[in-house]
Amino acid sequence: MAKATFRLWRGGTHQPGAFVDYATEVSEGMVVLDAVHRIQAEQAPDLACRWNCKAGKCGSCSAEINGRPKLMCMTRLNTLDLAEPVTVEPMRAFPLLKDLVTDVSINFRIKPGIRKFAPRTPDAADGTWRMAQRDVDRVQEFRKCIECYLCQDVCHVIRDHAKHEDGFIGPRFLVYAAALEMHPLDTGDRLGDLKDRHGLGYCNITKCCTTVCPEHIHITDNAIIPLKERVVDRYYDPVTRLLRMFRG
């Protein structure tokens, strides 16, 4: 069996962090998470890492592998150069808890601040609705999100400027807002919030979020830009502003 070296970030609140090299056996078809589990079982029982499904469906095992934000469970070793140590470190945009685990709690605090789903009156007497598949397709793309927060991790508005502490909800929640805004049944209006409270204007479309999304959601093109267009149409288009002045 071949061996490979994994350079894992170790450290938490008790000791200053550092990279530690672990050599471990690797076999065909393995992913980074398998190697981390093997290291945990054989060499470092207290190594902290989050994981659940091991199939790219839950978004628990986000990390930065050789500097790229990825899911450990979906990063196959045969896509990496095993002649060099494979670097695995926690997401940098979030505070470190321990080893590969970060404090992502801010994401859970952001979500309730977005106006919740508010459906229109049911279409049928039995209290149900009718929707066309082509209308739900658009929203289903956004609802594929597994909340791995890799897009939040890579967004420079958060990573370099920590604006999520200051009113910027970040790409995950712009996708969430878009899913609600474009939901065929929703009657809520979030445009004012997006402009004033959610920091939509901070996004300057570098598309890093789209690049790292493991679900291949077109975050920028299909969620953020349409939201920006709606905000611009309503608040910045001179013709509509003029009309609003007259209408009061």
Partner 1 sequence: MGAPHTYSYDVLIVGAGGAGLRAAIEAASAGVSVGLICKSLLGKAHTVMAEGGMAAAMGHNDDRDNWQVHFADTMRGGQYVNNWRMAELHAREAPDRVRELEAWGAVFDRTPDGRINQRNFGGHRYPRLAHVGDRTGLELIRTLQDHTIHLGVTVHMEYTVIDLLLDDGQVSGVLAYDRERGRFYAFAAKAVVLATGGVGRAFKITSNSWEGTGDGHALAYRAGAELIDMEFVQFHPTGMVWPPSVKGILVTEGVRGEGGVLKNSEGRRFMFDDIPENYRPQTASDAEEGWRYTQGDKSARRPPELLTRDHVARCIRREVRAGRGSPHGGVFLDIAWIKEKLPGAADHIRRKLPSMYHQFKELADLDITREPMEVGPTTHYIMGGIRVDADTQASTIPGLFAAGECAAGINGANRLGGNSLSDLIVFGKRAGEYAAAHARSRVAPRLDEQAIAEATGAALAPFERGGSGENPYTVQQDLQETMQDLVGIVRVETEMQDALTRLDALNARAARSGVEGHREYHTGWHACLDLRNLLTVSEAITRSALERRESRGGHFRDDYPEKSAEYGAFNIAVHRDPGGTMHVARRPIPAMPAELTSIVEDQKQ
**5, 17, 19, 56: which one binds partner 1 (CB under 8 A):** 56
Cβ distance to partner 1 smaller for residue 180 or 228: 180
**7, 144, 207, 218: which one binds partner 1 (CB under 8 A):** 144
**4, 63, 65, 104: which one binds partner 1 (CB under 8 A):** 104
Angle, CA of 83, 71 and 172, to the nearest 5°: 145
Cβ distance to partner 1 smaller for residue 109 or 247: 109
Report how many residues bind partner 1 under the rule CB under 8 A: 60
147 binds partner 1 (CB under 8 A): yes
133 binds partner 1 (CB under 8 A): yes
Cβ distance to partner 1 smaller for residue 59 or 199: 59
**Alpha-carbon gap, residue 230 to 181, rounded angstroms:** 10
- 174-203: which residues touch partner 1 (CB under 8 A)? 180, 183, 185-186
**Alpha-carbon gap, residue 230 to 210, rounded angstroms:** 20
98 binds partner 1 (CB under 8 A): yes
- 26-55: which residues touch partner 1 (CB under 8 A)? 27-31, 34, 40-42, 45-55
Cβ distance to partner 1 smaller for residue 26 or 194: 26
Query: Which residues lie near partner 1 (CB under 8 A)?
Result: 12-14, 27-31, 34, 40-42, 45-60, 74, 76, 97-99, 101, 104-105, 108, 111-112, 116-117, 119, 127-133, 136, 139-140, 143-144, 146-147, 180, 183, 185-186
